[in-house]
Amino acid sequence: MEVSELTLPRTRVAMVAPASALVIAPIADLRATTGDAAELVDQLHHGEQVRVLASRGGWRYVQAEDHYFGWTRARHLAAIGETRGRLVVARPLAPVRAHAAASSEVIALLPAGTALPPPAASADGWLPVTVSLESGVTRGAIRLEDAIDLADVPHRSPTADDLIATAEAFVGVPYLWGGTTGLGLDCSGYVQQVYRLNGLRLDRDADQQAMEGRPVDVPARGDLVFFGKAAITHVGIARDERTMLNALGGKKVQVDDIDGLRVGVLAVRRYLP
């Protein structure tokens, strides 16, 4: 793979790791707001794992395995501890070299958030990885500085500023239909990865993402803005009420005016509490 080190983004990708919890109630109601009389939006089953995104009194705002968001009683959940030694790629693209040396050939690129094996005691600044290439399965190595231990990622609820910080790490990445990495991104793949790196799961396509979260009238920082004519065909991440980050067809990840596209806004959705 002919890849120049100079062409690879060296930006550190911002990410957070919200707490995980296990449902210990036989059935736990998921409600639109706090309060036992609030609208029931989903139900959690015993043994299901959720992401805890916010706390309010005896309630927790969570995302379920089926991607639904809502509030459930804290007593229905048991915390799952994070273990040190779980590494993930912390750059838009991490070069895999044929050997553990900076001068060695780049044979592959690993995208941000890729799970990695724990380093050996003798890692010496490099981490062995196994990759499948056109020529077959082979061993290579990435720099440890291109990864981060999940125990060192901020363990807290994500904020709108977290989402924007992650999104900005991909500015300049070229548009690629079907792309979800720093090599190329389409509009929905871009927002899906930004949210994933902050512990929130979204479906793959824009029209599916527009069914998640909850509707709002005016976009605020971190909201998703959906565009189209008769149907949703594009999505961007609001920086504020007027501007957004988006992967624009035929161009790249960039900042644009929300009202500057040829198609109008069809929906705005919010996923954080």
Domain boundaries, the chain: 5-15+85-151, 19-80, 160-270
> Cβ–Cβ contacts within 10 Å for residue 189, how many?
22
The domain defined by 160-270 carries CATH number 3.65.10.10: no
What pLDDT score was predicted for residue 29? 95
Mean pLDDT, all residues of the chain: 91
pLDDT in tens, 216-266: 999 999 999 999 999 999 999 999 999 999 999 889 999 999 998 888 999
Please determine whether the domains at 5-15+85-151 and 19-80 fall in the same fold group of CATH. yes
* 3 pLDDT above the threshold of 60: no
Tell me the two tokens of residue 27: 């059935």
Q: Note the CATH architecture for domain 19-80.
A: Roll (2.30)
- Rg of the chain (C-alpha set): 20
What pLDDT score was predicted for residue 82? 61
pLDDT in tens, 39-56: 999 999 999 999 999 999
Show contacts of 24-27: CB within 8 Å, 24+ apart.
24/76, 24/77, 24/78, 25/73, 25/75, 25/76
What pLDDT score was predicted for residue 150? 86
* 119 pLDDT above the threshold of 90: no
Q: What is the CATH number of domain 5-15+85-151?
A: 2.30.30
Pairing of strands 214-215, 264-270: antiparallel
